[in-house]
Amino acid sequence: MTRYVVGIDLGGTKIATCLMDEEGCIVKKIILPTLASEGPEAVIGRMNASVYEVMKQAKVDRKSILAVGVGSPGPMDSEKGIIKNPPNLPGWIQIPLKNILWDEFKLPIALENDANAAALGENLYGSGKSAKNFMYITVSTGIGGGVVVNGKLFKGANGNAAEIGHTTINFQGPRCGCGNMGCWEAYASGSALARFAGEGIKNGRKTAITEIACDENIKAEHVFTAAKQGDDYAKELVDREGYYLGVGLANMINSFNPDSIAIGGGVTNEWDLFSDRMLEVMEERALKANLENLKVIKATLGSDVGIMGAAAAAWEICRINNE
Ligand SMILES: [Zn+2]
C-alpha cells in the first residue's frame, strides 16, 4: 500500500495543501484563500476542508495517510503545537493548532515555523539534498531562515530558531517591523529595497523607477525592472542589495559554518542581478576557514517550498515516532 503525508502551508493570504508520497512526489495540490480576517475558526475549517479535498481528488483514503505537517507563520511553540500571535493571522492568539487538527484527523501532527519547514523541504527535496549542515534563507518582504545541523532541523527552545532577519547589522539603523533597530531585514529584504528607492526619490533622485511604479507604491520588482533597463539609480540600489545580503550572509556563515546555503524567496527571481556582489561581500567578510567547501546556491523548490517543507515535517514526525 502506498503511504502518504499531508503538507499544509498556512500563509496570510493562501492555504496550500498537498498530498505527498514516500518518494517526495506531490500527488495532489490545492490552494484555498486564507481569508485571514474571518479569524482562526473559519481558517482552520478551510484547512480541514483542504485536507479532505486533496484526499478526495487523489482518491486516497484516510488509512493511507501517516501524518499531517503544517508550516505556519510564527511566533509559535512548535513542540506544544501552539500558534502564538502571528502578525499576518489576525485573531490567532495562543491557538492550540496541533490539538485541534489531532481532534479532526486522529493523526500525528507536526507544526513548524514556515521558514524552518522550508529549510527541511529544501534539505530533503531541493537544493540542499545531501547537505548535513544546511541553511535555507528566504528573502522576500522579510528575511527568514532555517538551519539543519547534522541532518536535523535546529528548532531552538520553542521552535523559533533562525529568526535571522532580526539579527542586527547596524545598531543605529532604521526601525524594523519587530521593534528593534537595524535588523538585516530592514536593510536587505525586498521591502527594504523598495523603501530605500522611495527615500532616494523623495530626496530628488531622478530614476525610471518612478515611471515604472506609476501610481502604485514602489516595490522591489520596480527597482529590478529599472536596473535591467540600465537605470543608474536602480543599479546602485541593486548593488547595495547585494552588499547588504553579503554582510548578513557572512554573519550566518561565521555563526553556523554550513556546508551549503540555499537562498529562496521572491527577491531571488532576480538572482543574476545581485548574486555576484552578494558573494563578493560574503567572501570578503566571512572567516576564510568557514568558506572552505561552502556552496551558496539559489533554492530550487520555488513556490512549492512551503508545502514540500510542511510535508517534510510530517515525514520527520513519522520518523521520530518510529524511533
Ligand atoms: Zn527586526
Which pLDDT tens digit goes with each residue over 280-319? 999 999 999 999 999 999 999 999 999 999 999 999 999 9
Residue 74 C-alpha to ligand 1 middle, in angstroms? 14
CA distance 73 to 114: 6
pLDDT at residue 128, as a whole number:
86
CA distance 127 to 136: 9
Which tens digit of pLDDT belongs to each residue from 140-174? 999 999 999 998 999 998 888 999 999 999 999 99
Confidence category of residue 93, pLDDT binned at 50, 70, 90: very high
Give Cα separations from 219 to 21, 69, 192, 286, 298 (angstroms).
38, 32, 9, 30, 21
- As given in the structure block, the three cell numbers for residue 180 are 528593534
Which tens digit of pLDDT belongs to each residue from 33-86? 999 999 999 999 999 999 999 999 999 999 999 999 999 998 999 999 999 999
Task: Quickly count: other Cβ atoms within 10 Å of residue 4's Cβ.
Answer: 24
CA distance 12 to 14: 6
Residue 199 has pLDDT above 90, yes or no: yes
pLDDT at residue 26, as a whole number:
97
Residue 175 C-alpha to ligand 1 middle, in angstroms? 8
What global pTM score does this model have? Answer: 0.92
Residue 30 C-alpha to ligand 1 middle, in angstroms? 33
The strand pairing partners of 297, in sequence order, are 262
The strand pairing partners of 72, in sequence order, are 113
- DSSP SS3 for 158: coil
- DSSP SS3 for 71: strand
Locate all alpha helices (DSSP H) within the chain, ordered by sequence.
40-58, 97-105, 114-125, 185-188, 190-202, 209-213, 220-228, 232-256, 271-285, 288-291, 305-322
Residue 86 C-alpha to ligand 1 middle, in angstroms? 14
Residue 279 C-alpha to ligand 1 middle, in angstroms? 23
Residue 179 C-alpha to ligand 1 middle, in angstroms? 6
Residue 143 C-alpha to ligand 1 middle, in angstroms? 9
